[in-house]
Homo-oligomer: A and B are copies of this chain.
Amino acid sequence: MNYFSSDFKLGILGGGQLGKMLLFDTRKFDIQTYVLDPSDEAPSRMACNQFFKGDLMDFDTVYQFGKLVDVLTFEIELVNLEALEKLEDEGLKIYPSPKTLRKIQNKGTQKDFYTEHGIPTATYKRFNDLKSLVVQILDSKLKMPFVWKCTEFGYDGNGVKIIREIADLDNLPNVECIAEEMVPFKNELAVIVCRNPSGEIKTYPVVEMEFHPEANQVEYVICPARIDEKVAEKARAIALNVSQNFNHVGLLAVEMFQTHDDQIIVNEVAPRPHNSGHYSIEASYTSQFENHVRAILDLPLGNTDSKVAGIMVNLVGEEGFSGNVVYKNIEKILGWYGVTPHIYGKKETRPFRKMGHVTIVNENMTEARKIAEDVKNTIRVISK
């Protein structure tokens, strides 16, 4: 198959910032891309060969789009799975496979999968609805505290809640859910795995999510994680194992906890380029996006090693500001060593909306961490 400057067409479901960053690499390789997204202002609208506006959850829209391309991938999990399954049955190459996506899309099924394959994960119970969960609490069969998670359509913190008392269940939707043991942990880690259809597989180094000490919000994604080498090896081995068991093709971001006694347990996975891998654009020999393209086209995978230490800071809309965005002090941070802002291209900011990210690279991790903190304290995503 000839992908480069040819008639070959790669279809991408979803046109957000992940798609936009993927398009840097399809452009670099001159691979034709078609993008489907519901928004006229999708960040991926510009650098694809053809943009299609349409509903990613609509069977016909996704099915018809799939008929136009040679290989299909997605940058968001919330897509019409039935359409993908039909397209795959009809012979279209879809990576990651809808079979894998089906196992991942539902958090209950995902947890069952870990259990069946002996992959360490927090203990959990599945419930068809919130009412059945409440019954078990009342019957003393489920002890608080625990983590409530709705099994589908949760995203970026939505659909997850710590339940310490019955009142915490108020206002939760009466949908399929799981109750998960609260595991005390000292680090939240992630490993991105890439794998191609031929079975070549590589892991990126372990990254560490550093939380704000009070706000309990991820502030920095740090690569490599500042953890013991043996723990890092264990985390990479587990992530590799997860990807292989899923028979996954493309990128799989495996989020994990490091417990206080250095056990690694899998939290959840995302079958696509991931926020925890954005640092790789500047820090790695091959970025996660380029490796996604390579993997789904069954090309050899690029080197996942880092050239330098990398730290990523998300740019999210500041509270109290809505409307046309201004990146205040961006001129200032541009002058600092190894600082690269990525602006996703969303015109309007809203509180907590992901508007971009900043990567800080440096030969010295301590230095990078200092600069990252200065970046975090200096740049502000506000409105005019």
Contacts and interface: CB of A to CB of B under 8 A. Distances in A.
Interface of A: 2, 4-5, 20, 23-24, 27-30, 46-49, 285-286, 290, 294, 299-303, 307-308, 325-327, 330-331, 334-335, 337-347, 361, 363
A340 B27 CA distance: 13
A197 to B, nearest CB: 13
Contact of A30 (B294, B301, B344, B363): B344
Contacts of A5: 325, 327, 343, 345-347
A294 B334 CA distance: 9
Given A343-B28, A343-B29, A344-B30, A338 B2 contact: no
Q: How many copies does the complex hold?
A: 2
A337 B2 CA distance: 22
Nearest to A294: B334
A383 to B, nearest CB: 11
B303 A337 contact: yes
A189 to B, nearest CB: 24
A285 B338 contact: yes
A334 B303 contact: no
A285 B361 contact: yes
A337 B307 CA distance: 12
Nearest to A290: B340
A137 B5 CA distance: 50
Contacts of A327: 2, 4-5
Contacts of A302: 334, 339-340
A234 B330 CA distance: 34
13 contacts: A4-B327, A5-B327, A5-B345, A20-B27, A27-B47, A27-B345, A28-B340, A30-B345, A46-B49, A285-B337, A301-B335, A302-B339, A303-B337
